[in-house]
Chain A
């Protein structure tokens, strides 16, 4: 049995036919749509490497069945920059050395974008660390990641103020 689904992925509508209900959102992105920026780490919801935004909320795409997300609006790491201009979170990760090997980085960045939108952490580094605990970094770049999230948040706040003025 085939399952027709329709998704908005990085702003673009994609109509897809699933031949197997077992396909996760992660495998759909990577294997079918060639969006390999989203990483498969543990594939069991423990590492956060597969984090994407679904309808604006960060989730583990490895634990989401694609067929159940018919109609969803999905943002992946491939969709966050504006052309050649990096997203402020991407720029802050570079400025603060928020990675070493880079494998967890797309998930870290998507999670950070979600965290900033949730607006619960404020400028408290401990709340940022707690809010980012679903993303593991085996190189141990946590200090740089926390600094990057805090700076990107400041940057986005200032940009929002400018836009509102």
Chain B
């Protein structure tokens, strides 16, 4: 690992000033950052340690019925908060479907949002990668790309965003609170991550020095709690990134759907909201035909970026099945294998 300067600011404004200098990166838990630095994938000059900044580790209910989650809240603490699970069960399920217990104990909310792709060519410094080095080319295009993007990709980059947590956050219209050199602003989380286009090295809407201080859930995000599920297909049932994942959140009126929220993970460089699929479900019956139709719409623009055409039909099935699971109702307690399409119950049907 290349050496770096270590600074530990005591206030948000000090942190922003230090991080705005070229070559600086923020350090929270470091679970992704250190891995990248050990591999020489990123080589920062300065680490700005934000773990001691005051006031960023709280989960605060807001007067309007929303919830504010501090940037330094640990993934495990959020997922296991009983009030949080009752109001946003699919977010808790997504968190517990990600990484391992050790990593969830360390990893933070903002770190999860800003984690980098797990594309093997981004990690392998001997390979060409436009994300690592603008204009270098993309070895993933002709390489091992079965897990790569099927939506929103470009010739320059076919990497996916690896987060589970971000998928239900996008579906539920979460807002990201940012402190920067010109003060505080907020953006919808759907606008945080960028599609690659010609500049896959530009991954987010953040400017130099920008610090995510909180993620906020609007009041109506808790209105789906009775009918929401996250479903994640992986190459192994635990401790693996998604091949394809989806969240479905329904606001039900008997057997009819009032409102639907749908987003997918593992399919694009950002968590992928399926607005058209949501709209077609509003006012519709909650049945298999409606779910399949919604799934078709969600993947309408999908195309393979390599040997990954199977992900398109897989994603349709995961969307349809997450809708069916959501319609059946949120379980009182998460299953033993959170978000898994496979059940440990003997005799359970595994067919999508």
**Residues from chain A with Cβ under 8 Å of B31 in the complex:** 45, 60, 63
Contact B106 A134 (CB under 8 A): no
Q: Is B126 interfacial (CB 8 A cutoff)?
A: no
| Complex interface bits, B257-291 against A, C-beta within 8 A gives 1, otherwise 0 | 00000000000000000000000000000000000
With the chains together, A113 CA to B223 CA distance in Å? 37
A63 shortest CB reach to chain B, Å: 5
| Complex interface bits, A79-123 against B, C-beta within 8 A gives 1, otherwise 0 | 000000000000000000000000000000001001100101000
Interface segment, one of A31-39, A124-132, A153-161: A124-132
B319 shortest CB reach to chain A, Å: 24
Q: Is B137 interfacial (CB 8 A cutoff)?
A: no
Known: A21-B4, A22-B1, A59-B106. A65 touches B101 (CB 8 A): no
Known: A20-B3, A21-B47, A24-B34. A45 touches B103 (CB 8 A): yes
Contact B336 A65 (CB under 8 A): no
**Residues from chain A with Cβ under 8 Å of B11 in the complex:** none
Contact A67 B6 (CB under 8 A): yes
Contact B100 A134 (CB under 8 A): yes
Contact A68 B27 (CB under 8 A): yes
B219 shortest CB reach to chain A, Å: 29
**Residues from chain A with Cβ under 8 Å of B5 in the complex:** 1, 21
**Residues from chain B with Cβ under 8 Å of A135 in the complex:** 100
| Complex interface bits, A42-55 against B, C-beta within 8 A gives 1, otherwise 0 | 01110010010000
Of the residues A3, A43, A68, A111, contact of B30 by C-beta under 8 Å: A68
Residue tally, chain B, CB below 8 Å to A: 32
Q: Is B62 interfacial (CB 8 A cutoff)?
A: no
Contact B102 A126 (CB under 8 A): no
Contact A111 B35 (CB under 8 A): no
Q: A-side binding surface: helix, strand, loop or mixed?
A: mixed
**Residues from chain B with Cβ under 8 Å of A124 in the complex:** 336
B339 shortest CB reach to chain A, Å: 11
Of the residues A43, A129, A134, contact of B38 by C-beta under 8 Å: A43
| Complex interface bits, B1-21 against A, C-beta within 8 A gives 1, otherwise 0 | 101111010000000000000
Q: B-side binding surface: helix, strand, loop or mixed?
A: loop
Contact A63 B49 (CB under 8 A): no
**Residues from chain A with Cβ under 8 Å of B1 in the complex:** 22
With the chains together, A45 CA to B101 CA distance in Å? 11
Contact B101 A131 (CB under 8 A): yes
What residue in chain A is nearest B6 (Cβ atoms)?
A21
Contact A115 B101 (CB under 8 A): yes
With the chains together, A60 CA to B80 CA distance in Å? 20
Q: Is B51 interfacial (CB 8 A cutoff)?
A: yes
**Residues from chain A with Cβ under 8 Å of B38 in the complex:** 43-44
With the chains together, A17 CA to B8 CA distance in Å? 16
**Residues from chain A with Cβ under 8 Å of B238 in the complex:** 129-130, 133
A120 shortest CB reach to chain B, Å: 7
With the chains together, A126 CA to B333 CA distance in Å? 14
What residue in chain B is nearest A69 (Cβ atoms)?
B51
Write 8 A-B pairs (CB below 8 A) sorted by A numbering: A21-B4, A22-B1, A44-B39, A45-B103, A126-B336, A127-B336, A130-B336, A134-B102
Chain A residues close to B by CB (< 8 Å):
1, 3, 20-22, 24, 43-45, 48, 51, 57-60, 62-65, 67-68, 111, 114-115, 118, 120, 124, 126-127, 129-135
Closest 3 CB pairs of A and B: A134-B100, A133-B238, A21-B6
